[in-house]
Amino acid sequence: MTIGELSYKTHFLIGVRSKGVMPVIADWPHVPKQADVERIISEVQNGYVGFALCTPTSILPAGGDGNTAAKQFGFSRGM
C-alpha cells in the first residue's frame, strides 16, 4: 500500500534526545545506503543520545472518524 509518498519501502532516520523527544531527521523512499545514514548521523549527532532507522509496519490513512478514509482505501476499522 502507498499513501502519498509513504510506502512499506519508506525508511525514516529518527534521532533520540535524552528527554525522549524523537524527531524525524531524514527519510528515504527506499532502503538507504549505510554510508548515507552514517553521513547524516555525523552531521546532526550533537544533542542526540541515539538514532533509529525505521520502516513503517502499519500505514493508516488520516481523515475524519476513519470511516471515509477506510472506505476510500479499501479496508475497514478493526483490521
Position 37 scores a pLDDT of 97
Distance CA 37, CA 35 (A): 5
Residue 46 lies in a domain: yes
Residue 78 lies in a domain: no
> pTM for the full model?
0.69
Q: What is the pLDDT of residues 8-65, one digit of tens each?
A: 889 999 999 999 999 999 999 999 999 999 999 999 978 899 999 999 988 888 775 5
Residue 37 lies in a domain: yes
How many domains is the chain partitioned into structurally?
1
In 1-79, the DSSP E strands lie at 2-3, 6-7, 11-16, 24-28, 50-54
Residue 58 lies in a domain: yes
Residue 36 lies in a domain: yes
Q: How many CB atoms sit inside 10 A of residue 38's CB? A: 12
Residue 21 lies in a domain: yes
Domain that residue 14 falls in: 2-72
**Chain centre distance of CA 30:** 12
